[in-house]
């Protein structure tokens, strides 16, 4: 069955038909298509556009179709052009003329625009729940390591002391912003296109507000051309998903570094690592590497959406059929990555001794040494220079700021006294910045 027969005198070429078909991608929206069709039929009956009897028959049969598809009793016919064609064909097959009336006052343009919004709202809620679960795991691990000293880095060079808990909790804020971006995108797309028709509305006396409310939309899409040609929400969600992948990828990059012999800060659970086919000693962070790698796939989905939409005149164009492959893949990939990443983080083992040993080298308390001189009245730039000279002395003599004799300090700047040793203790450096709670026994 095709929804556009009548004008054409030839059957569609099989290759062209297969190329034109979108059912492989949009069949996952069968629930949304059925729900929207049921609401549409109820509205048509309520407005007197179709009979109450036909409206009830359509909604009843749609409910049956949904149950049969969910249970597997009925399978989607991938020979149909799209999921909308399949659902309408089944209704017509079972209800005759009543089934043919379901598409009254509707186009596939506003139909698919509605379905994809409904589907992406559900996907957004599902992903948000996964991100909240991830945030819960990060919070738990951060609390566990609130006093675990480690070096903080800039330029991948040891910079200043932090705690492992503080480092982990930085990602909590990133993922919270990601949740906010998803919510913002959903808020902007939460308007129902049904009633827009192909592009110019409909001559039937439909109740668009009724339809929007029944489907859970915040309101009605006001401009009918925009309603059917808008895919901003796909691009915006894909951008939000891409940023999530940036955050996951950065986190995974750090895990890959941290579990290397060169760092040795963490060890991944055996359930989230793999081995080598030839080197028996290897324990590879493949899960983290795959998450890092799949970021490129999601970025590609965003690029595909931007490219598809960038040159299209209003309103609908067949190019827009490509929106579903891209945005569905982006959601699938991100959800899969979060599902793999969350238990990997929950089960990793930190190595505080390794972190502390790394923090004890690299002069990451040098800024605190300079600040100590500032507290004695020396301008910061002079204090910075004096501390740099001390670091050079320590490097030459194989010492640290903690082990450098006081007379060496005084030779560089007479404002130094024995209090400097308390100032450069790593724990004190952290406490002064509030990175270790004041109640900590450390």
The residues annotated with a catalytic role in the active site are: 155, 276
**Rounded-to-integer distance, Cα 118 and Cα 161, Å:** 47
Treating both helix axes as pointing N-terminal to C-terminal, what angle do 30-46 and 108-144 enclose, rounded to 10 degrees?
130
**Rounded-to-integer distance, Cα 8 and Cα 1, Å:** 13
Residue with tokens 């000693």: 281
Q: How many of the other CB atoms lie within 10 Å of CB of 4?
A: 10
Length of the chain as a residue count? 442
CA dihedral 406, 410, 412, 413 (to 10 degrees): 130
313: tokens are: 């005149």
Residue with tokens 């970025």: 299
User: What residue ranges in 72-210 does DSSP mark as E strands?
Assistant: 149-154, 157-163, 191-192
Number of H helices, E strands in the chain: 19, 6
CA dihedral 298, 32, 236, 240 (to 10 degrees): -50
Q: Are 206 and 162 in contact (CB under 8 A)?
A: no
Compute and round to an integer the Cα radius of gyration of the chain. 31
241-261: b or e for each residue (b if 16 or more CB lie within 10 Å)?
bbbbbebbbebbebbbbbbee
Question: What values do phi and psi take at 217, rounded to 5?
Answer: -80, 155
User: In a 10 Å sphere around its CB, with 0-12 CB exposed, 13-18 middle and 19+ buried, how is residue 361 labelled?
Assistant: exposed
Distance linking the first and last C-alpha atoms of the chain: 74
Q: Are 192 and 212 in contact (CB under 8 A)?
A: yes
Dmax (CA) for the chain in angstroms is 100
Q: Are 78 and 24 in contact (CB under 8 A)?
A: yes
Question: CA-CA distances (angstroms) from residue 4 to 1, 85, 171?
Answer: 9, 10, 51
């Amino acid at each position: 069955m095709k929804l556009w027969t009548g004008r054409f005198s030839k059957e569609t070429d099989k290759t062209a038909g297969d190329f034109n078909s979108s059912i492989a991608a949009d069949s996952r929206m069968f629930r949304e298509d059925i729900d929207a069709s049921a609401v549409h039929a109820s509205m048509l009956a309520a407005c007197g556009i179709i009979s109450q009897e036909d409206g009830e028959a359509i909604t009843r049969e749609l409910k049956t179709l949904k149950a049969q598809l969910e249970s597997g009793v009925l399978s989607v016919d991938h020979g149909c052009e799209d999921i909308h064609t399949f659902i309408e064909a089944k209704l017509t097959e079972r209800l005759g003329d009543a089934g043919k009336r379901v598409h009254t006052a509707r186009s596939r343009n506003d139909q698919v625009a509605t379905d994809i919004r409904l589907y992406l709202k559900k996907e957004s809620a599902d992903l948000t729940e996964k991100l909240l679960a991830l945030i819960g795991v990060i919070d738990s691990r951060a609390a566990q390591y609130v006093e675990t000293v480690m070096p903080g880095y800039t330029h991948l060079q040891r910079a200043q002391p932090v705690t492992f808990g503080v480092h982990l909790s930085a990602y909590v804020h990133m993922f919270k912003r990601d949740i906010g971006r998803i919510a913002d995108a959903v808020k902007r797309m939460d308007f129902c296109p049904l009633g827009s028709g192909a592009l110019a509305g409909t001559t039937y006396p439909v109740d668009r507000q009724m339809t929007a409310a029944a489907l859970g939309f915040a309101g009605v899409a006001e401009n009918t051309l925009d309603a059917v040609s808008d895919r901003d929400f796909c691009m915006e969600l894909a951008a939000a998903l891409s940023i999530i992948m940036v955050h996951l990828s950065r986190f995974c990059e750090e895990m890959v570094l941290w579990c290397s012999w060169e760092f040795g800060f963490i060890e991944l659970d055996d359930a989230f690592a793999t081995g080598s086919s030839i080197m028996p000693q290897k324990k590879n962070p493949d899960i983290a590497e795959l998450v890092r790698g799949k970021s490129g796939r999601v970025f590609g989905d965003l690029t595909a959406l931007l490219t598809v939409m960038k040159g299209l005149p209003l309103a609908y164009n067949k190019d827009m059929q490509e929106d579903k492959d891209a945005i569905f893949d982006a959601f699938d990939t991100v959800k899969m990555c979060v599902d793999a990443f969350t238990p990997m983080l929950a089960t990793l083992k930190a190595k505080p001794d390794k972190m502390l040993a790394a923090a004890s080298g690299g002069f990451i308390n040098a800024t605190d040494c300079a600040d100590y001189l500032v507290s004695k009245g020396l301008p910061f730039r002079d204090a910075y220079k004096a501390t740099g000279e001390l670091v050079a002395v320590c490097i030459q003599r194989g010492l640290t700021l903690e082990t450098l004799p006081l007379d060496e300090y005084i030779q560089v700047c007479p404002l130094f006294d024995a209090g400097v040793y308390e100032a450069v203790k790593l724990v004190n450096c952290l406490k002064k910045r509030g990175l270790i709670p004041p109640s900590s026994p450390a």
